[in-house]
Amino acid sequence: MATIYDVARAAGVSAKTVSRVLNGDGPVGAATREAVEKAMREMGYVPSNAARMMRASKSGLIGLITGAITTVREATQPAGLPDLFIVQGIQAAMAQADMTVMIADTGGHQDKVPRLIDTFLSHRVEGLIYVAEYHQQVSLPPVPPSTPLVLANCFDDIGTPAILPDDERGQHELVARLIRAGHTRIAYLTLRDEIEATRLRSLGYRTALAEAGLAYDPNLVRPCDLNGHEAETQLIWDAIDQMLRLPDPPTVFCCGNDKMALKVYGILRSRGLRLPDEICVAGYDNYHVIAETLYPPLTTVELPYFAMGVRAGQRLLSLISGQGREDRSPTLVSGSVQWRASVTERTPINVTQLRSIREETPK
């Protein structure tokens, strides 16, 4: 690889002059500039960032650590890793600021994280981002305070800047929208109890009901997530069965995610119910492949992964430039309700009619 000295020799000038042409500082005569540029072009010269870095101590590098990648495979959660949209968002933000992103994943082994951080530090990254595969609490090994760290899709208990989806608001807006559409009996098949999203979304579900003056009915809420285990379908079937046999059954099923909604479609249809006329379904995540391909297309809530990535990138950039170092509060990113044909607007009258139809159908 050609060096600045090779170029200097070819152009018959000193290395410093080539440097001046490269960086546009100090004055350079027109003829000289041209000769230097010609030499650079002919030799395919590209300046070495390493050498530059040694003086400038600005690497233009960002380190991105994700447990997402391989954890997904391990967790028997064969999802399509939509969380990599976060990586894209970060990339987009960094490209704008002329930063290069280095990525590494833990391969599902949390204990690899310190080594990955050291690798990044040895490349003198200007900042680090950790991306989790789902909204959760994490605990990372300490990072030198001179290297800012941002958490995306996760948070810790020492106030590291975090970018999180606003799960509470998302579910709240979905339920409020369902209520405006005339639904009053809203079932909620949640994800596992222990995950953060479930806690927040349940909260959003309850406050939306309360604001509309509707009572919270525990019979309409049930966790139906076994983390991909095959018995999950049975669990969902059972929950739906019991809820539909309530004296006042739900008119719409909210699901913990779009994948669950896909299963719910199948189960409801196997019971002979027509979607969306007889029963409605809503999801969460706006997982495009499912939500837009299903018939009828699925009403769901956007999980704003791309936007979260961009926000994480921007927050890191401002930390690098020294701003907002003392701000400990997480950034919440909201996703909008995607209203599609799987939920119909209905008046209380329709609900009554439907209930009688359903009671005629033998279990």
Partner DNA sequence: CGGTGTCATGTCATCGGTGTCATAAACCGA
Partner DNA sequence: TCGGTTTATGACACCGATGACATGACACCG
**With respect to DNA, which residue has the nearer C-beta, 57 or 356?**
57
- The encoded tokens of residue 295 equal 């018939």
| Coil/strand/helix, residue 186 | strand
End-to-end CA gap in the chain: 76
The site map against DNA for 47-86 (x = CB under 7 A) is: xx--xx-xxxx-----------------------------
By CB under 7 A, residue 362 contacts DNA = no
**With respect to DNA, which residue has the nearer C-beta, 7 or 279?**
7
Q: Which of 10, 17, 65, 176 binds DNA (CB under 7 A)?
A: 17
By CB under 8 A, residue 340 contacts a copy of itself = no
In the beta sheet, which residues pair with residue 338? Answer: 300
Distance CA 73, CA 65 (A): 17
Taking the complex as a whole, the smallest distance from the CB of residue 335 to a copy of itself amounts, in Å, to 15
Distance CA 169, CA 153 (A): 16
Using the contact rule CB under 8 A, the part of the chain among 177-185, 193-201, 210-218, 285-293 near a copy of itself is 285-293
Taking the complex as a whole, the smallest distance from the CB of residue 265 to a copy of itself amounts, in Å, to 9
By CB under 7 A, residue 119 contacts DNA = no
In the beta sheet, which residues pair with residue 66? Answer: 105, 131
Question: Residue 79's binding partner, choosing from a copy of itself, DNA, none, with beta-carbon cut-off 5 to 8 A by kind?
Answer: a copy of itself
Taking the complex as a whole, the smallest distance from the CB of residue 54 to a copy of itself amounts, in Å, to 6
By CB under 8 A, residue 105 contacts a copy of itself = yes
Chain centroid to CA 237: 29
Taking the complex as a whole, the smallest distance from the CB of residue 123 to DNA amounts, in Å, to 12
By CB under 8 A, residue 103 contacts a copy of itself = yes
The answer to whether the beta carbons of residues 107 and 291 sit under 8 Å apart is no
Q: Which of 9, 10, 14, 186 binds DNA (CB under 7 A)?
A: 14
Question: Residue 292's binding partner, choosing from DNA, a copy of itself, none, with beta-carbon cut-off 5 to 8 A by kind?
Answer: a copy of itself
By CB under 8 A, residue 259 contacts a copy of itself = yes
DSSP state for residue 342 in the 8-state scheme: T
The bridge status of strand 186-190 relative to strand 221-223 is parallel
Q: Which of 24, 44, 213, 218 binds a copy of itself (CB under 8 A)?
A: 44
The answer to whether the beta carbons of residues 218 and 253 sit under 8 Å apart is no
By CB under 8 A, residue 287 contacts a copy of itself = yes
**With respect to a copy of itself, which residue has the nearer C-beta, 155 or 305?**
305
CB neighbour list of residue 292: distance below 8 Å, 6 or more residues apart: 298, 340
Distance CA 114, CA 108 (A): 13
The answer to whether the beta carbons of residues 150 and 319 sit under 8 Å apart is yes
**With respect to a copy of itself, which residue has the nearer C-beta, 125 or 178?**
125
By CB under 7 A, residue 20 contacts DNA = yes
Burial of 351 (0-12, 13-18, 19+ CB in 10 A): middle
Strands (E), 233-353: 252-255, 280-282, 300-301, 331-333, 337-338
By CB under 8 A, residue 97 contacts a copy of itself = no
By CB under 8 A, residue 24 contacts a copy of itself = no
The answer to whether the beta carbons of residues 209 and 186 sit under 8 Å apart is yes
Residue numbers at the binding site for DNA (CB under 7 A): 1, 3-5, 12-17, 19-20, 22-23, 25-33, 45, 47-48, 51-52, 54-57
